[in-house]
A and B are shown apart, each in its own frame.
Chain A
Amino acid sequence: MAQPPAAAPDMLLPSSRPAIVAPTLGAVDLGGQRGERSLFRRLALSLRSGQVTWLRGRNGRGKTSLLRLLAGLSTPAHGDVLIDGRPLRKLPVEWRSKLLYIAHANALKDDLSVAESLRFLSQLRGAPAADEAITGALARLGMAGMRKAPVRTLSQGQRRRVALARLALPDPAAIWLLDEPFDALDVDGVQVLNDLLSEQARRGGSVLLTSHQALSLADPLPSTLDLDEYAVAR
């Protein structure tokens, strides 16, 4: 696999972030369940470098469950999640540095400031971001003016923007799993997120995201994975 060239410290603009080749995240004959209830089965997918995939499906079909399975947070009822053809459960934990999962919950702490929250989340991924990088990422999402504000004082949409600012940090993960990233965003926020998704695809990263609304992303055109096709008949 091609090693990404080291980024110079002043390369803060996401457009100058290094090119990567995302490992292929795939699954064959995957089955998922929540509690005792089977959600989907015989699911096959393959997320390749440079692709954006829209995960669709009616409410309760298991979109979030699938994202959590792929992130390695839960175990499949059947089959394996594969990273470059190797089962996820056999990989060392370090592989997770290639992954960024933004869940429905924003994972921000009410008592921390916006910048502190973002820095902590970058430290967790093992890629601690410098102050300027954090300010830059927040500015990209239109939140730079709030960087010292406690998360407690933010609206839902603003919290979502802070959580999504992780995507604008330098040294982003190769694979993005995004659960309803467009939730609570205004028109302007949707545009920024679309730009970030395009950049990720152009760099060679891959994205799997869920959304209630049809995607407005034009470059690259997202492929669709419809969970309804894999639903378990009941």
Chain B
Amino acid sequence: MRDLFLAVLQRDLRLAARRRVEALLPLVFFMVAISLFPLGVGPEMQTLRQIAPGVVWVCALLATMLSVNQLYAADFADGSLEQLLLAPQPAVVVALAKSVAHWLVNGGPLIVAAPLVGLLFDLSVPALGSLVITLALGTPVLSLLGGLGAALTLGLRSGGMLLFLIVLPLAVPVLIFGAGAVAVVEAGQSPTGHYSLLGALLIATALGAPLATAAALRISTE
């Protein structure tokens, strides 16, 4: 089981490394979309500081959704997905490995870049720290949910749009607690409760989403 997980993970990371520009596009989108806000809203420091957590989180959510679209589409098109499902191990291993690979390639860079964009919004150091922590807890949830959405919309003609409509509502709790934690820190209170809730969301999604994804993959390839 571990061998299959590592094999799929390694292959996806290798594929991303061979397509570096493509793999970096979500990060570029994240940075560009965020830097539009100070231009659009105006350079009022107080306002920027107030909207910063929400802006960063919404952009992280959209960047993840843009990249998760292709998670299974290429494997589906070239026949690899059938071979993945024929491995003598449960398909849930494949689903988990694909989501972990997606998170490492797309979620990881967002977490690293977040403090930089936080500076654009004049966030304090504790708020930046809390932003990084919430993204580290929250982006894996987005990758897992995105994997489920990608599996459900596999092979559909307007799959991309449908994926947004399926996953965005599911991601609302992450958005609320992720952005909420940073706002709480800015207000000088303890964000522990928010962290715990994000952690709970991560555990619940990690347990449930791969199972649902595996079932969705079987239905999509039927």
Contacts and interface: CB of A to CB of B under 8 A. Distances in A.
B90 interface: yes
Nearest to A121: B83
Interface residues of B, number: 23
Contacts of B14: 112, 116
Contacts of B82: 68, 73, 101, 103, 105, 107
Nearest to B77: A105
B18 interface: yes
B18 A107 contact: no
Contacts of B4: 123-124, 126
A105 B78 contact: yes
Max chain A CB contacts within 10 Å: which of B15, B78, B83, B221? B83
Interface in B89-103: 89-90
Contact of B15 (A103, A109, A124): A109
Contacts of A101: 82-83, 86
Interface in B1-50: 3-4, 7, 11, 14-15, 18-19
Contacts of B222: 73-75
Interface in B60-94: 77-80, 82-90
Contacts of B221: 73-74
B83 to A, nearest CB: 5
A108 B86 contact: no
A230 interface: no
B15 A126 contact: no
Contacts of B11: 109, 112, 116, 120
A93 interface: yes
Interface in A110-139: 110-112, 116, 120-121, 123-126, 128
Given A109-B11, A116-B14, A103 B3 contact: no
B154 to A, nearest CB: 14
A94 B4 CA distance: 13
Given A73-B221, A123-B7, A124-B4, A109 B88 contact: no
B79 A71 contact: no
Instruction: In the A-B complex, list the 9 residue pairs whose CB atoms are closest, starting with the nearest.
Output: A105-B79, A97-B88, A123-B7, A107-B79, A111-B18, A96-B88, A107-B83, A124-B87, A107-B80
Interface of A: 68, 71-75, 93-97, 99, 101, 103-112, 116, 120-121, 123-126, 128
Given A103-B82, A105-B77, A107-B78, 17 more contacts: A68-B82, A93-B89, A96-B86, A99-B86, A101-B83, A105-B82, A107-B79, A108-B80, A109-B78, A110-B78, A111-B15, A111-B19, A116-B14, A120-B7, A123-B4, A126-B4, A128-B7
